[in-house]
Structure 1
Amino acid sequence: MIPVTANITLDEGEIAESFVRASGPGGQNVNKVASAVQLRFDARRSPSLPPEVRTRLERLAGSRLTRDGIIVITAQRHRAQARNRQDARERLLDLIRRAARPPLKRRATKPTAAARERRIEGKKRRAGIKRLRRTKPSFD
C-alpha cells in the first residue's frame, strides 16, 4: 500500500510500469538500457479514489489522461532506471494529492470606491482621445 493522503492509499497492483529506452543524454548507454519509465494508473476504475477526487484528478491530468481514463506518466529525467521509477511515482502521487484538496469557494467581492473612480477616469480619458480624433482639423 502506498500512502497518498491521510485517508487515501493506493494498492501497488493499481500501478503498472513499463520500461522503455530514453531519449537525451547518456552516451552509448542510452542505446542499450531501457531506463525511462512509463507509469500507467487507471484513475477511472481505481477503488482507492473517492468519486470527487477521481473527477478532479481526471481534469488535472489533462493530456496525460487517455480516453479510457488511464493516466500515463513518462519519466526520463535521470539516467538510472530506479530514479526514473521513483520520479514517475512521485509525480503521480503529487497529482493525486492536488486532486484530493477540495477547491476553495470563491468569495464574491465588490470593487472599492477608489477602483471604481480610477475606472471611470480612464474611460473619460479614453473618450476624450476618441472625441479629438472625430473632429476634422481646420486649417484657417
Structure 2
Amino acid sequence: MATLRGCQLLRKFFGVTPLLRLGQRVSSPLVHVPVSVARVRCAATNPGDGGQKVSARLAEMRQILQEAEERALSAGSEPTPKITIDHVTVGFARSGGPGGQNVNKVNTKVDMRFNVKNAYWLSDRIRERILQMEKNRINKDGEIVISSTKTRTQKGNIEDALEKLQAIIDAAAYVPPPPSEEQKKRITKLANAAEQKRLQNKKALSQKKAIRRTKDSWD
C-alpha cells in the first residue's frame, strides 16, 4: 500500500510512473524523457547518508526524484517552439455539413500534415514526446493529419489547424515543476515503509521455510 501511494505521488507531482520492480525503465505519461533506473540488486550507499547503506527501493526513489529535478531545471530555460505554415503541408477540399451553396463551391476544408519525424526544428525531447503521445494518430510516414472545417474560409481553417498543432507541441514541451522538500520527504517516508514491509514479509517466509525443513527432518 505504501509503495502504491509513493508511485501515485510521483505520477501526480513529477510526471513519473515508476514500476514496482527494480531493474526496469521508468517513463512518464506527461514527460517524455525516460528515467533509467539502475539495476540495484542489494543495498547501496549514498553520500548524503554518511556512507551508510540504504535500501535498493529507497535508492531507486531518490534517483527518480533527482532526475525529475534535473529535467525541470534543464527545461526551464528552453522556450516553447512555435509552429508556422512553413512547417506543414496544407491541402484543401470541399466542406460538408451546413453552409448553403458556399460549401459546394469553395474548397474551404483544410487538411494539414505535420511530419513529426522530420521536424528537426523541435528538440529531441519534444519530438520524441509527440511521437509517444500521438502514436495512434501518426501515420506510417510519421505525419499527424489535422482537419479543420471550423470556419467558412481557408485562412480561418488554416489558423485553427495550426492552433491544434501548437496545443500538441505545448503539451509535449511541458515539464512539471521540481519536487518540493515536503514532497521528497513524504515519498522517502513511503519508500522506507514499503521496504520495511518487504523485509518483514521476506523474514516471515524464511521462517516458514525453516519450519518446513525441520518437520521434514523428523520423517
How does the TM-score come out when normalised to structure 1?
0.64
Does 1:78 pair with 2:182?
no
Alignment size in residue pairs: 106
Partner amino acid, structure 2, of 1:67: K
Is residue 21–residue 35 contact of structure 1 (8 Å, CA) maintained in 2?
Answer: yes
Gapped regions of structure 1 (runs ≥ 5): 111-140
Structure 1 position 22, deviation (Å) = 1.2
Once residues 54 and 103 of structure 1 are traced to their aligned partners in structure 2, the CA distance between those partners, rounded to angstroms, is 17
The one of 82, 105, 111 aligned to 1:38: 111
Structure 1 position 105, deviation (Å) = 8.2
Structure 1 position 60, deviation (Å) = 2.5
Q: 1:49 to 1:34 in 2, by over 3 A?
A: same
Higher helix share: 2
Higher strand share: 1
The one of 101, 105, 129 aligned to 1:28: 101
The one of 13, 19, 23 aligned to 2:92: 19
Is residue 81–residue 169 contact of structure 2 (8 Å, CA) maintained in 1?
Answer: no
How does the TM-score come out when normalised to structure 2?
0.43
Whose relative contact order is higher, 1 or 2, with alpha carbons under 8 Å and at least 6 apart?
2
Structure 1 stretches of 4+ with a deviation exceeding 2 A read 5-14, 59-64, 102-110
Is residue 39–residue 72 contact of structure 1 (8 Å, CA) maintained in 2?
Answer: yes
Gapped regions of structure 2 (runs ≥ 5): 1-77, 191-219
Give CA deviations for 1:7-41 in whole Å, capped at 9, x if unaligned: 53446432111111111111111111110111111
Once residues 134 and 149 of structure 2 are traced to their aligned partners in structure 1, the CA distance between those partners, rounded to angstroms, is 18
Once residues 76 and 54 of structure 1 are traced to their aligned partners in structure 2, the CA distance between those partners, rounded to angstroms, is 27
Is residue 112–residue 146 contact of structure 2 (8 Å, CA) maintained in 1?
Answer: yes
Q: 1:9 to 1:83 in 2, by over 3 A?
A: closer
Is residue 109–residue 154 contact of structure 2 (8 Å, CA) maintained in 1?
Answer: yes
Task: Tell me the C-alpha RMSD between the 2 structures.
Answer: 2.5
Give CA deviations for 1:81-138 in whole Å, capped at 9, x if unaligned: 211111001111111111111357897485xxxxxxxxxxxxxxxxxxxxxxxxxxxx
